[in-house]
Amino acid sequence: MKLNQIINLHKGLTPFVVLSLMAIYDNFSIPAWIYLSLHGTYGILWLLKEKLFPDPYFKDEMGFLTSITGFIFLGSYWVAPFILISSQKLIPNFIIAGCVSIYIIGVFLHFASDSQKYFTLKLKKELITEGFFKYSRNTNYLGEILIYLSFAILSMNIIPFIILLIFFIIVFYPRMIKKDKSLKKYEGFDEYKANSGLILPKFNE
């Protein structure tokens, strides 16, 4: 299987997994519905992104065992809804509002920056130093991390935060370092690197 097929399967199954958890634990509370709305729409948006501006990085072929391992690894993102729904927690309204706000910002940064990168590189292979990438070299990853951070906060449990940290260490950070190395071939990269953040925005003006 290709990496994108594994990811798409996970994203597409997420709404059904969350709904199943709600049915199993008979939890149809507002926090559960909010979680379904957030994580479910993220999965749908991801599948739309895959059709409109796919990431070529995710086209890599993977062996059977690697595919199974990768899917299980991605499945750890379902720990957050499991904890939230099975524990029958009552989530304060200000926490819910904060999570929705973080999610919206994350979705905006993630998909808009991915769109800019895809269509810019489609026209010309060049260093992107404007728009969403002016202050941060990895705005798309920042957005994705904010999305999963909102899910972790909504669960009100430390475990999803640990899972997100693990993903950052073994997935996001290595990809960002690899990207920096690949961009060194472009003229002006050193100046761009000095004036932008690896993931958090670096404002110099």
Q: Indicate whether 62 pLDDT > 70.
A: yes
Q: Indicate whether 97 pLDDT > 90.
A: yes
Give residue-wise pLDDT tens across range 116-152: 999 999 998 899 999 999 999 999 999 999 999 999 9
Over pLDDT 70: what percentage of the chain? 100
Domain ranges for the chain, please list them: 3-194
Burial (0-12, 13-18, 19+ Cβ within 10 Å), 196? buried
Residue 4, strand partner residues: none
Please report where in the chains the tokens 């010309």 appear, as a residue: 124
Nearest CA to 133 among 58, 32, 67, 202? 202
Over pLDDT 90: what percentage of the chain? 87
Q: Indicate whether 75 pLDDT > 80.
A: yes
Nearest CA to 171 among 146, 145, 133, 153? 145
AA identity, residue 99: C
Q: Indicate whether 36 pLDDT > 70.
A: yes
Q: How far is 176 from 155, CA to CA, in rounded Å?
A: 28
